[in-house]
Amino acid sequence: MPTKNWKYVLTPNEFEELAERYMLTTNFGAALVSGNRVSVNRCIYYPWYLAHERNLDLAQMVQESLRWGEPNISLDNEGLYVWCVPICLNDQIVAGVFSAVHPGRAHEEWGSMISQAAWTLLDLTCQYNACNSSLMQLNRDHGRANAYKAEAIHSVKQNLFRDSREIYLQEEFGLLAAIRKGDKERARSIINRILIRVYSLQTEDLDMLKTLVLEMVVLMYRTAVDRGANPRNLLGVNSSYLKEFHEINNDVELSHWLTRWLEDFISTSLNQVAPAPPDSIALAIEYMKNNLDQPITRDEVARACNMSYGYFSKVFHHRTGNTFTDQLNQFRIEKACALMDETNLNINQIALDCGFNDQSYFTKVFRRYTGTTPKQYRSTTA
């Protein structure tokens, strides 16, 4: 329950301005709720007075939003989405800002629109200093860390590892693929999973853990440079953290250091524009990516680039660091991973869509590049 009047934090005029901006931005209304009582209603199309009958505890929703550091999105028993963010005085809840979809439109596929509208509401509330953005970020990080920890502990129960090297090798492909894609959330998740699995062994000292972390950092650096990031800028990130790294005295400090380094590293690498390779190799890569479901060959791609077979092989290896077959398989496995992450296609169909007509060969190549089978990969990323 609120301990202070919300007007200490957000004046009525400020809320009116916030609600107007929100409506213009998202086409959704906003209501200010104190406890379970609506104080200012600029979302008049939703029957807030029926919230309890629709199995919504508005005060509890606001508490959960603060607890997890993100908008709380719920579904009432009429099939309407309702979401909220907290209004806080320091770390104490004094009210909440709510919004909802229009009645009669529950059948529509809202998808990411609801999530985007909810995060916009949080952003606007923070802009008016009615919500502590630093506290929300802290709670969000804490919640995600707990979720990653639970996931990793579950994984540890299912997999037995001999040492940290084995743990890292199983995750290496996924981690580097996340760096190539600039997928910060997935990279963070994989690193947390690696660290918790390593800690669960309880057999290795801090120096060995720091050695493993340094190897991860070097591999991620190389991957980002291959992706087109500026090496000097990335070295600046590395050098600024190097002194701190040598002063780390326990595994908790090591985990925090790696999380902060990853944030800065990926943000820096994402801002870089990859230099274009020579037109012929760029054409070859584009041709390969556009025909991954076809039985394409080196000679076919060389002809498409108007190059002799031998010269094409030499230039391709020089520019990419891989043979044609290795690069083609890498593209196919990356596509397979993406399809497993983003679709519900069965594994046989995914194999065909990625150019593998033999299921057993697909499994063999997938394991070679990822350290796991397609079925295991899907179960860990589901």
The answer on 159 and 111 residing in a single domain is no
pLDDT in tens, 6-41: 888 999 999 999 999 999 988 899 999 998 889 999
To the question of pTM greater than 0.85 for the whole model, the response is: no
Amino acid identity of 357? N
Which domain-ending residue is among 131, 163, 184?
Answer: 131
pLDDT attached to residue 197: 64
Q: pLDDT-based confidence at 264, cuts 50/70/90?
A: confident
The answer on 151 and 97 residing in a single domain is no
Q: How far apart are CA 359 and CA 297, in angstroms?
A: 19
Q: Enter the DSSP assignment of 51.
A: T
pLDDT in tens, 326-369: 999 999 999 998 898 888 889 999 999 999 988 888 999 999 88
The answer to whether residue 43 scores a pLDDT higher than 90 is yes
pLDDT in tens, 46-92: 999 999 898 899 999 999 999 888 999 888 888 888 999 999 988 88
Q: How far apart are CA 170 and CA 326, in angstroms?
A: 19
pLDDT attached to residue 33: 95
**How confident is the prediction for the chain on average, in pLDDT?**
79
The answer on 248 and 233 residing in a single domain is yes
pLDDT attached to residue 358: 86
pLDDT attached to residue 227: 59
Q: pLDDT-based confidence at 252, cuts 50/70/90?
A: confident
pLDDT attached to residue 107: 59
Which domain-ending residue is among 114, 131, 148?
Answer: 131
- The tally of domains found in the chain comes to 3
Q: pLDDT-based confidence at 228, cuts 50/70/90?
A: low
- Helix (H), strand (E) counts: the chain: 16, 5
Residue 60 near residue 48, CB atoms below 8 Å: no
Q: pLDDT-based confidence at 3, cuts 50/70/90?
A: very low
The answer on 145 and 256 residing in a single domain is yes
Q: pLDDT-based confidence at 196, cuts 50/70/90?
A: low
In a domain, 288, yes or no: yes
Q: pLDDT-based confidence at 269, cuts 50/70/90?
A: low
301 vs 144, residue with greater confidence: 301
Contacts with 121 (C-beta within 8 Å, 6 or more apart), sequence order: 22, 26, 30, 71, 83, 84, 85, 97, 99
Q: What is the pLDDT averaged over residues 270-293?
A: 70
The answer to whether residue 180 scores a pLDDT higher than 80 is no
308 vs 341, residue with greater confidence: 341
pLDDT in tens, 112-168: 688 888 999 999 999 999 998 888 888 887 766 655 555 544 444 444 444 555 666
Q: pLDDT-based confidence at 275, cuts 50/70/90?
A: very low
The helix-helix angle for 58-68 and 133-158 (nearest 10°) equals 80
The answer to whether residue 215 scores a pLDDT higher than 50 is yes
CATH code: domain of residue 352: 1.10.10.60
pLDDT attached to residue 168: 60
In a domain, 1, yes or no: no
Q: How far apart are CA 350 and CA 381, in angstroms?
A: 16
pLDDT attached to residue 230: 64
pLDDT attached to residue 4: 62
The answer on 141 and 126 residing in a single domain is no
In a domain, 316, yes or no: yes
Sign, CA torsion 118/124/129/132: positive
In a domain, 115, yes or no: yes
In a domain, 259, yes or no: yes
The answer on 306 and 223 residing in a single domain is no
pLDDT attached to residue 87: 95
In a domain, 232, yes or no: yes
Q: pLDDT-based confidence at 256, cuts 50/70/90?
A: confident
The answer on 127 and 145 residing in a single domain is no
CATH code: domain of residue 123: 3.30.450.40
Q: What is the pLDDT averaged over residues 313-330?
A: 86
Structural domain of 174: 135-270
The answer on 295 and 185 residing in a single domain is no
The answer on 102 and 38 residing in a single domain is yes
The string of DSSP letters for 297-348 reads: -HHHHHHHTT--HHHHHHHHHHHHSS-HHHHHHHHHHHHHHHHHHH----HH
In a domain, 27, yes or no: yes
The answer on 375 and 356 residing in a single domain is yes
The answer on 211 and 337 residing in a single domain is no
Which domain-ending residue is among 270, 305, 325?
Answer: 270
In a domain, 178, yes or no: yes
The answer on 161 and 90 residing in a single domain is no
